[in-house]
Structure 1
Amino acid sequence: MRFALNHIISPRQTLAQFFTMAKSLGCSEVEIRNDMKGTAIADGTPPEAVRDAAAKAGVTIITINALYPFNVWSEDMAERTTKLARYAKACGAKALVMCPLNEGKAVPRASLVAGLKGIRPILDENGLTGLVEPLGFHFSSMRTKAEALSAIKEAGGEVTYKLVHDTFHHHLGGETEFYPDRTGLVHISGVSDPEVAVNDMLDAHRVLIDSHDRLDNIAQIKTLIAAGYKGPFSFEPFSEEVQALANPAAALRTSVDYISSSLRS
């Protein structure tokens, strides 16, 4: 498996610290974020500094996470997309993760398709892939990969866009279909709280994967690998319990070992 790390795991670390931790764990691929206060990109760190820090640590920035809400197309969204895409190109990132409106409001399909059409030339100009991530929450405006793929086809974006298979959102969205040939990235996280109902699961419940996982992560990972997916599996736990860990590297090693041994068994 190609394990990768998303900076949401340890938001208190600087980018340089995060990159160094990733490399120490054998993860040479990382995701950085534009939605965390006090860290690059939000603090105005020049993209060249991010690029140099990644090169020094020996890691590749696979994504900036995320362009939001990509399916509500407007002049402002076009400007923000252009700014983020240029930053991604300059810092060496390979792709932008793209998330739909997630505020309990419906978004017409025409707006979804318009967003994909509008974003495509911006990504192409900057040599980036768009990684479209459905959010399985019941209040999300785009819950399934099937819906995303249909809109991508209508927008003529099969070359520019790929899917994010998020094991958490796959479970919440009640999806059964896997699209390994259209998947460019897999986000992995677990839910171990035995009390929370599936429909009530939120980002705050997302922890590192262990034997108490309720999302069938191991089964999802096995299915993707067996079907030919060869891309990265990126840890993306949002729980404050994980983010506050004094030694996140040790916890990540434990989760990596659990996943690896489970796949072998």
Structure 2
Amino acid sequence: MAIALDRFCINRKIAPNLTIEQFFQVVKKCGLNKVELRNDMPSGKITDDLSAEQVNALAQKYGMEIITINALGRFNLGAERAQVLANAEAMLKEAQAIHCQALVLCPHCSADDSRSDEQKQQETLQALSALAPLFQQYGVTGLVEPLGFGISSLRSSLLTQSLIHDAAAPYKLVVDTFHHHLDEVDQAAFDRQMAMESIGLVHLSGVEDDRPAANLTDEERIMLTPTDRLKSKQQVDNLERLGYRGLYSFEPFSSVLASWSEADIEREIKQSIALLQG
């Protein structure tokens, strides 16, 4: 059974040169109504120079639901706990103001991170516990996204699921097909242990570059193609087989996206959806 269109979402990373209104227009042209906004766009702001009221008016005009803001970075770095809490509160206030449902949390990624694996896990758990009251206060869901890079302080989706459970707070997990590939996860263990109800969102991208997985970066992330080395379609088929019925969000990162026109973006979205539904 084909995945329904209302389960697809578009991350604003696909449209670095479009205004929020232009982005909403393209998404609507694709027959979709769910988007993710970001805090790492050229403007450096989640809503560019628009007020919350202006964003809400545009969302209503084009029928858009703002699913997440990406992302609260370095959330699990204990040495920056006070700053993380301050950043989280500022982002949660903005999320609440634009009726955004969730905020994505990304771990610290640095080759200079000298913490032991045990310390990284401990500080991740401590951060989840410390942040939980803020998410509850603002009525926003926390989505924890492990990053598969070798320098990431939280790579494993199964470990993330375990830490969320230990934090005893209603966080959800983000499974990203790029990072799932980089983490070289034990697929049998994932299929056996991953609870589909613990997944709040799945990020999708594709890679055609043939370098080893350990050498891949965000720059290689494009939309889905039949020769995708991440096998994102197969990952999606497997999640569906396991019972996942949540949202899929397209999140390409390559700098080539800056040269895409609105027509290019619309074409790439439609082709990727057709590939998944085929």
Superposition TM-score tier, normalisation by shorter sequence: over 0.9
What letter is aligned with 2:137?
E
SS in 1 for 2:131: helix
- State the alpha-carbon separation in 1 of the partners of residues 223 and 10 from structure 2: 12
Q: Does 1:80 align with 2:97?
A: no
Counterpart of 1:256 in structure 2 is 273
- State the alpha-carbon separation in 2 of the partners of residues 106 and 8 from structure 1: 31
SS in 2 for 1:23: helix
Alignment check: 8 A CA contact 1:66 1:98 kept:
yes
Alignment check: 8 A CA contact 1:95 1:130 kept:
yes
Q: CA RMSD in A?
A: 1.4
Counterpart of 1:171 in structure 2 is 181
Q: Does 1:233 align with 2:240?
A: no
- State the alpha-carbon separation in 2 of the partners of residues 39 and 103 from structure 1: 21
- State the alpha-carbon separation in 2 of the partners of residues 119 and 94 from structure 1: 16
Counterpart of 1:4 in structure 2 is 9
Q: Deviations over 1:130-181 (max 9, x none)?
A: 1100000111110001121222122212xx2000010000011011214322
Q: Does 1:192 align with 2:208?
A: yes
Counterpart of 1:22 in structure 2 is 27
Q: Does 1:156 align with 2:168?
A: yes
Please show how residues 88-167 of structure 1 align to structure 2 within 5 Å.
88-104=95-111, 105-107=113-115, 108=119, 109-157=121-169, 160-167=170-177
Structure 1: unaligned runs, 5 residues or longer: none
Is the alpha carbon distance of 1:22 and 1:42 closer, same or farther for their aligned partners in structure 2, counting shifts above 3 Å? closer
Alignment check: 8 A CA contact 2:176 2:204 kept:
yes
Please show how residues 34-53 of structure 1 align to structure 2 within 5 Å.
34-38=39-43, 40-41=45-46, 43-53=48-58
Cα offset, 1:9, TM superposition = 0.3
Cα offset, 1:259, TM superposition = 2.1
Please report the TM-score for the alignment, with normalisation by the length of structure 1.
0.93
- State the alpha-carbon separation in 1 of the partners of residues 114 and 23 from structure 2: 36
- State the alpha-carbon separation in 2 of the partners of residues 239 and 62 from structure 1: 22
What letter is aligned with 1:115?
A
Alignment check: 8 A CA contact 2:46 2:69 kept:
no
Cα offset, 1:37, TM superposition = 2.4
Cα offset, 1:48, TM superposition = 2.3
Is the alpha carbon distance of 1:106 and 1:164 closer, same or farther for their aligned partners in structure 2, counting shifts above 3 Å? farther
Q: Deviations over 1:24-81 (max 9, x none)?
A: 1112110000111226426453222222211111010000000111112411111110
Q: Deviations over 1:105-142 (max 9, x none)?
A: 25522211111011111001111111100000111110
Larger mean CA deviation between 143-152 and 85-94 belongs to: 143-152
SS in 2 for 1:184: strand
Cα offset, 1:208, TM superposition = 0.6
Question: How many aligned residue pairs are there?
Answer: 258
Percent of residue pairs identical: 36
- State the alpha-carbon separation in 1 of the partners of residues 176 and 240 from structure 2: 14
Structure 2: unaligned runs, 5 residues or longer: none
Aligned match of 1:70 in 68, 75, 83? Answer: 75
Please report the TM-score for the alignment, with normalisation by the length of structure 2.
0.89
- State the alpha-carbon separation in 1 of the partners of residues 110 and 51 from structure 2: 31
